Amino acid sequence: MASHPKFSRFATVLEVDPRTKAEVAPENAWEVSDDTTISRHWKRWLLVEHVVDQEPKRHPLPNVTALASTFSRLGITSGIQVVAYDQDNGMFASRLWWLLRWMGHHEAAVLDGGFARWIAEQRPTTAGRETRPAETFAGFARADMVAKVEEVARLSETGSARLVDARAPERYRGEIEPIDRVPGHIPGAINDHFMQNVDEHGMFRPPDALRTRLTAALAGAQPGEVVFYCGSGVTACHSLLALELAGLPASRLYPGSWSEWSSDPSRPVETGPEGTRKNGPAM
């Protein structure tokens, strides 16, 4: 299990559905024990019901009060182990893992290999609705885990911290851009595609392999001096989880990511491979 070697006897298991643009869960959470059963249903129920600053970010951080209320309704409170899973490689579940950490809940993990591995190993599934009693979630947002656009702009200009773009290399280089208004990346950022964190089966690579690759990618920068971003602040969380699995200190997330950065025509954009500084305003 990614992020946490064990889970307590009673845990909340949340499903993250890749077919929507928000973190989602079934209409319930599960109480699991040693013979864990996971629902096979893929309900389209919004975990995050209320967000702020819808534009220009695609996946802005949720309203803290609404998020805490949702976690309470799902039965999450201090000491409850939460296990998030998605269809396979954890690219969506890691966002939920990060949101829980951001809200101060450290008993959070991602099911390595997700639902695909669970089914491949012929583990039990069930259908229907399951519930658990509501609890009181008393978390708070940690400002030290995020970098805002103004700080990212300063870091880009001064080079005082490492910016890491977790998107696919062709998007980083600006060769394609299927979603946002302009292609390219934040000037000075390096590229480390989050899919390098997993093997061909969608399983996280061993900690030693992750540590070797990520240390090389950071090129001497301490992880605490690094800010990760992606297209909209989702898959960069996968890389933040990989850092933890590697035993490296935590880095920060730029939640607005490329969707926010590229929305302002006055912000500089860089294209091409790493080290090619073709700065200019977003068109």
pLDDT of residue 282: 52
Residues 6+ apart with CB under 8 A from 205: 197, 198, 199, 213
pLDDT score recorded for residue 40: 35
- Opening angle at CA 73, ends 70 and 76, nearest 5: 90
Q: Would you say how long the chain is, in residues? A: 283
Give burial (CB, 10 Å; 0-12/13-18/19+) of 83: buried
Neighbours of 216 (CB within 10 A): 10
Residue 237 a catalytic site member:
no
Active-site residue identified among 2, 230, 241, 243: 230
Domain boundaries, the chain: 11-141, 146-261
In the prediction, which pLDDT does 277 show?
52
User: What is the pTM assigned to this prediction?
Assistant: 0.82
Q: Per-residue pLDDT for the chain (283 aa), expressed as one digit of tens each?
A: 664 433 332 445 665 554 443 333 333 333 333 333 333 333 222 333 333 444 556 778 999 999 999 999 999 999 999 999 999 899 999 999 999 999 999 999 999 999 999 999 999 998 887 778 999 999 899 999 999 999 999 999 998 889 999 999 999 999 999 998 899 999 999 999 999 999 999 999 999 999 999 999 998 888 888 999 999 999 999 999 999 999 999 999 999 999 999 999 999 999 998 766 544 555 4
The torsion angle over the Cα atoms of residues 160, 256, 216 and 5, rounded to 10 degrees, is 130
Task: Kindly report the CATH number that applies to the domain delimited by 146-261.
Answer: 3.40.250.10
Q: Are 146 and 102 in contact (CB under 8 A)?
A: yes
CATH number of 11-141: 3.40.250.10
- The stretches of 74-205 forming alpha helices (DSSP H) are 93-102, 114-120, 149-158, 169-172
